[in-house]
Amino acid sequence: MSYLDYVNEKCIECGKCTKNCDFLTKYHLNLKDYTKREDLKYHCFLCGVCKQVCPLDLDGRKVSTELRMGEEKGFGMMKFEKSPYIFRNNSKKKSKTLLFLGCSFPRQYPETTKALIDLFIQNGIDFSLDCCGKPVYETGDEKRIKKDKDRLEGIFKEKGIEKIVTACMNCYYFFKKHYDIEVVSIYEELKELGLGKKIEEERNIFIPCPDRQTKEVLEHIRYFVPNLKTPFENVQCCGLGGLALGTERELADGFVEKLREYDIPVTTYCASCSGRFRKNEIKLTGHILCEIMDVEERESLGFLKGSLQIRNYRRNR
C-alpha cells in the first residue's frame, strides 16, 4: 500500500491538520483531500505540524514527497548547486567520526565553521563540507536522489566512517532517516568532548521544523543554554521549508510577520532560518552554535564568499 492509499484509508477527517496548517487552511484541505491534489505538491512547507496534531500520526510531509516522487523537471539551479554540491570539500583521510558541516551553515558562518574544523581536527576528527541530499530529495527527482546517496555512501565507506556529527538540523534528521549510520548533533559531540562555552543568559529559541516534534537537538542545546525559552512555537515555519517559498510567498511572508509581532530577539539553531530572518530584518541574537564556539559572527547573505572560503580551507591550512 502506498502512503497516499494509507492516508486515504486511515484519515478520519477530524480537521485538526487543517486548523493548524496555513497551507491546508488556504485550500480547505485535510490530509485525505491532499492525497488527490498533485497540483499542490510543491505548495507544502514540509513543516510537519499536521503530524504533530494528528490523532492517528498521519504525516503530510510524506503525502507531499510521495506526490513529488518521479518528477525530474524543475529546480534546475538548485540541483546544479547541490547535486553534487559544487562547493564540496572532502578528503580521503581515514576517520571513524566525521564532522559533516552541510552546505547552509558554512556559507553563512564561515568563521565559526573554520573554528569548528580546527577544533575537531585537533581531536582527531576529519570534516566534510557537502550537501546531505535533502534539497534534491524534496524535488522528487529519484535518479538524482539515488546518485547523490550513492556518492555520499561511497565517501563514507572509503573513509571508514562509523559516526557522523552534524552541524545542521536538516542533515541530522535526513541522515537518521535515510542512512544506516550513527548520527549525533554537534551539540552532543561538543558535550562529549568537554568543549564549548556555556551561556547563562536567557535566549529565546526558534525551533526549526525538523526538530519540532521530538525536540532532540533542542535538548542537546539545553546543556549549553540552561535558561533557554521557546516562545515562538505557534509560528509554523520560517518560510523556506519544502521548496514552497516560490509557490506560497504570501504564506511564507505571513510566518515571518507573525514572528515579528513578538518584538523580542530571536536565537536560532538552523542556518536557513537565520538567513531568512536576517533578510526580513527580524531581531536576532544570532546562531547559538556561534555563541557556544565563542565566535562573534553574523549571518552572511552573500553565500558565495563564505562557500568559497570553506571549500578552499583545507588546502590553505
pLDDT of 315 strictly over 60:
no
pLDDT band at 300 (very low <50, low <70, confident <90, very high): confident
Q: What are phi and psi of 300, to 5 degrees?
A: -95, 125
pLDDT of 206 strictly over 80:
yes
pLDDT of 301 strictly over 80:
no
What rounded mean pLDDT belongs to the chain?
A: 95
pLDDT of 98 strictly over 60:
yes
Q: How many other C-beta atoms are found inside a 10 Å radius of the C-beta of residue 50?
A: 24
Q: pLDDT digits over 141-176, tens only?
A: 999 999 999 999 999 999 999 999 999 999 999 999
Question: Can you tell me which residue has the cell 510524506?
Answer: 62
Q: State the average pLDDT over residues 97-121.
A: 95
Strands 126-128 vs 228-229: parallel, antiparallel or unpaired = unpaired
Beta bridge partners of 97: 163
- Pairwise pLDDT comparison (300 vs 99), residue with the higher score: 99
Q: pLDDT digits over 127-137, tens only?
A: 999 999 999 99
pTM: 0.95
Q: pLDDT digits over 246-295, tens only?
A: 999 999 999 999 999 999 999 999 999 999 999 999 999 999 999 999 99
The per-residue pLDDT for 313 is 81
The CA distances from residue 306 to 42, 89, 104, in Å, are 29, 13, 10
